[in-house]
Amino acid sequence: MKKQVIIALAFALTSLGVQAQTDTNARRTLEIQIEENTITFDPGEKDLSQADLATMIGFATREVGKMQAKQQQIMAKIDKLEAEGKLSEEEADELRDKAEDNFEEGMDHFEEVMESWGEAYGQRMETWAEEFAEGMEAWGEQVERDLENDSTMATPPPPPPVPPLPNMGGEDNDSTEADPVKKRIVISKDGVILKDQDEEVTEEETEIRFKDLFDEGKRKKSKKINRTESYFDIGFGFNQQLEDGQYLVEDIAGQLNFWRSRSFNLGYGAKSRIGNPYSKVYIKYGIDFSWHNFQLEGNEVLINSGTAAVFDTIATNLGYEKNKYHIAYFNVPLMLQLDFSDAGKRDDAFTLGVGGYAGIRLLAKTEAEYNTAQYRKVETKIYDDFYTQRFRYGVMAQVGFDSFKINASYDLNEFFRAGKGPAYNMVNVGVSWTL
């Protein structure tokens, strides 16, 4: 980036004062090239002494050189962090832009300092010239009086001391203009932004201090945003069977009591962010154990007839308290999820996900509990596969806020093996909490 700094120095000096301060070898206009930055000294109609020019040149060269060296260090550090994968390409470009903006502001401020210096120096030299002219005028009058009185001619007065150069850093400037407001570079959920010094940096934001980029100790204390984090799910729900995968089982064999046909599941896994640290897209994956109970209406029970699984009504004189079938699965879910939590957090805001799963049957059984004329309570448990599918697969969807989720799943394959039972597909609706 090329920055032109033009310093105009106006001096209101008398010709005598100018002659006293001018070096005949001084150049009227002087340019200094420091890398890509050009500093031009333009004193206007008057010349500067060689000593003044040397002072100005030394100060400008030193200060601009320091600013440029710092800028190069910052750019190199950003390049290194990007190469190490600690900054995305987009974040690195934004930081480079902010660093360039800071450098431009610094050069603008430097230009103001030099202009203030020129004005202050001009005012001091003008005062010096006026004092010198007054002294010479008074000496001339004294000489005339001495000549009239035939007395010894007065000695010319010594010139007043040349005023020192003003403070180049602007500390003694008479300018009342405030320094430009310094900005803070902050990474937020909206990207890299600039904030005024008096603006608060929230917990969800991270301030970038360029000097800290070179302090390994401080940089290690900054919050690390992990790409992958683990989770634990616990959920409850309700089961239903859909005839031909479309219709609720009603008024036929196998009708379920919805509120007593419950499920329970435990899951563990991880979710990995796709993209930069501010991406809302995640892949969620893991393992899951689920238990499903199907409470039948009336006196129906699921039995193995030897050739197929059938729902049969038996012993109508028995008072059934429980007549259900039960199945358990080990599942492997995979979900694409949008998580609108702030960077560095998960399941802390609105989430939306779709995905699928595959599972294998671990257990199948039927349970019945009834009373007879002889016994108040009779329980039976029969362990069998009842011609259910050994494997299952399906699709699922999830929506939630914070750790609370509402889930729905649908088995794409039939619950019973083809030709070995009713053409039912299992569907489940429930709630879960992600810990």
Same domain, 286 and 365: yes
Most confident of 4-8, 243-247, 287-291: 287-291
Counting the structural domains of the chain, the total is: 3
Provide the pLDDT confidence category of residue 288 given band limits of 50, 70 and 90. Answer: very high
Same domain, 137 and 219: no
Cα separation, 135 vs 70, in Å, equals: 50
Spatial contact of 262 and 431, defined as CB atoms under 8 Å apart: no
Using the Cα atoms of residue 113, residue 118, residue 123 and residue 124 in order, give the sign of their dihedral: positive
Same domain, 204 and 245: no
Task: List the Cα angle 18/22/26 in 5-degree steps.
Answer: 140
pLDDT of residue 340: 92
Which positions ≥6 away from 216 have C-beta within 8 Å? Answer: none
Same domain, 72 and 158: yes
Q: Which domain holds residue 343?
A: 228-434
Among 400, 293, 417, residue whose Cα is nearest residue 349: 400
Provide the pLDDT confidence category of residue 25 given band limits of 50, 70 and 90. Answer: very low
Same domain, 331 and 410: yes
Same domain, 291 and 409: yes
Q: Tens of pLDDT along 330-349? A: 999 999 999 998 887 889 89
Which positions ≥6 away from 320 have C-beta within 8 Å? Answer: 298, 299, 368, 369, 370
Cα separation, 186 vs 123, in Å, equals: 43
Same domain, 191 and 267: no
pLDDT of residue 4: 42
Per-residue DSSP letters for 129-165? HHHHHHHHHHHHHHHHHHHHTTPPPPPPPPPPPPPPP
Most confident of 68-72, 132-136, 243-247: 243-247
DSSP 416: B
Same domain, 255 and 148: no
Residue 352 confidence (pLDDT) above 50: yes
Neighbours of 254 (CB within 10 A): 21
Same domain, 193 and 72: no
pLDDT of residue 323: 85
Q: Tens of pLDDT along 75-112? A: 888 888 888 777 777 778 888 888 787 777 777 776 66
Which positions ≥6 away from 185 have C-beta within 8 Å? Answer: 95, 98, 102, 192, 193, 194, 207, 208, 209, 210
Q: Tens of pLDDT along 50-67? A: 556 566 666 666 777 777
Same domain, 59 and 137: yes
- What is the edge-to-edge ordering of all strands in the sheet holding 4-8? 4-8, 37-42, 30-34
pTM: 0.52
Residue 159 confidence (pLDDT) above 80: no
